[in-house]
Structure 1
Amino acid sequence: MDLAIKYDIIAEISLLSESLQNRNMTVAYADKLIRRCIIFIDNIKEKPWTKCIETRVAIKEGKFCGVPLIENIKISAINPQQLLTSVPNNLKRQLFTTISSNEAKSTSGTVRTISKQEEYDTLLKELIVFERGHWPSEKPPGFGEMEIERLCLRFKLTASKIKHGYRDYLDGSSRVSKQLNILFNCIKLIPCS
């Protein structure tokens, strides 16, 4: 049973790993895939997956592939609930979150602490404006332009021409402007995990 649980977990993590190695992977999509994997593994606690089901049937029948199973009392089993809790927790740590924090000055000059989680959430909100699947059906004027400005500030780029290119991108232009492409290249440099 231990091997079956590990197999199901490793199979899911293997799919995630292969997806994250895609050259066209974006941070926003990588975040989505990692969170999906976490939910899947959390779900195995309640609903066993392929190999766990096969193993339960083999245990019930007392044989696996025609070979009789013999219970070995000397082998101690792992705690499946602990494993199925530990793996998602470790995956959560692979996201752009940490427990440390940074200080930032607000526009009024006061200092406040910004957690890495807030910083990551802000980055995701900025990047999501490039994901067509997250666009509203009726895009309001100026949709995503604040995020584009913050990304330009982050990468020390001039926002005016990039915003113009982004407007063309929003309108479904098949040609990506040279200026917007510079921002795309900067975004691609952000590691996904």
Structure 2
Amino acid sequence: MHDILAEIALLSESLQNRNMTVAYADKLIRRCIIFIDNLKKKSGTKCLEARVAIKEGNFCGVTLIENIKISSINPRQLLTSVTNNLKRRLFTTIPSNEPKSTSGSVRTNSKQEEYDTLLKELNVLERDQWPSEKPPGFGETGIERVCRVFKLTGSEIKNGYRDYLEDSSRVSKELNLLFN
């Protein structure tokens, strides 16, 4: 439990960063899911400490007494539950009030593709994703599509984006709408 909470605390602190973008937040959440899921195969440091304490019957000078009435948590089930809950909190293009599809995966796959495309288009806002030589009009198609998704005025934001490409240390008021 301690290993899981430490990872979620790290994720929470990272997501509170004012400069966080949707694409990077998605990456951090997915990384956290992978880390927690990996705890099924390789125990975390606190879990290993707990196992040693149980084996020795002593934790930080306190004698441990086995209590038959207390049932332990199934660690694999806990880890699966936590990762499933985190996966449900990933960004999506499906509104939460939209009824579930009975046909299943075709609709889900198209929504997943739509979401993946949105993330790729948002990458044009990430300086570390830019090529060293940016061609004229770099990223503008993606900016226009993202503006449509978020119902923002494309022409003002496009000009703000061009300014941002020239000097990425300044974010215009218009482009800041898209960042937010």
Report the TM-score when normalising by structure 2. Answer: 0.79
1:5-20, aligned counterparts within 5 Å? 6-20=1-15
**Conservation of the 8 A alpha-carbon contact between 1:45 and 1:81:** yes
Q: Quickly say closer, same or farther: Cα 1:143–1:101, change in 2 above 3 A.
A: farther
1:81 to 2:73 alignment: no
Report the counterpart of residue 48 of structure 1 in structure 2. Answer: 43
Structure 2 gap segments, 5+ residues each: 101-105
Report the counterpart of residue 176 of structure 2 in structure 1. Answer: 184
Report the counterpart of residue 124 of structure 2 in structure 1. Answer: 129
Which one of the candidate residues 122, 143, 148 is aligned to 1:148? 143
CA distance in 2: counterparts of 1:37 and 1:70, whole angstroms: 34
Report the counterpart of residue 3 of structure 1 in structure 2. Answer: none
CA distance in 1: counterparts of 2:154 and 2:26, whole angstroms: 27
Stretch of structure 1 that moved more, 140-149 or 93-102: 93-102
How large is the Cα RMSD of the aligned pairs?
2.7
Displacement of 1:120 after TM fit?
2.3
| Corresponding residue pairs, total | 170
Q: Quickly say closer, same or farther: Cα 1:122–1:184, change in 2 above 3 A.
A: farther
CA distance in 2: counterparts of 1:70 and 1:173, whole angstroms: 60
Structure 1 gap segments, 5+ residues each: 1-5, 103-111, 189-193
Report the counterpart of residue 157 of structure 1 in structure 2. Answer: 153
SS at match of 2:39: helix
Displacement of 1:141 after TM fit?
3.8
Deviations 1:29-82 (A, max 9, x none): 211111111111011111211211111121222211122222222211111111
Deviations 1:114-162 (A, max 9, x none): 8442332232122111111222334344321110111233324133x54
CA distance in 2: counterparts of 1:174 and 1:121, whole angstroms: 27
CA distance in 2: counterparts of 1:65 and 1:32, whole angstroms: 37
CA distance in 1: counterparts of 2:42 and 2:164, whole angstroms: 43
Displacement of 1:92 after TM fit?
0.7
The percentage of counterpart residues that share the same residue type is 71
Q: Which amino acid aligns with 2:45?
A: T
Q: Quickly say closer, same or farther: Cα 1:183–1:43, change in 2 above 3 A.
A: same
1:39 to 2:34 alignment: yes
Which structure has the highest strand share of the two? Answer: 1
CA distance in 2: counterparts of 1:57 and 1:89, whole angstroms: 29
Report the counterpart of residue 60 of structure 1 in structure 2. Answer: 55
**Conservation of the 8 A alpha-carbon contact between 1:96 and 1:116:** no
SS at match of 2:70: coil
Q: Which amino acid aligns with 2:154?
A: T
SS at match of 2:30: helix
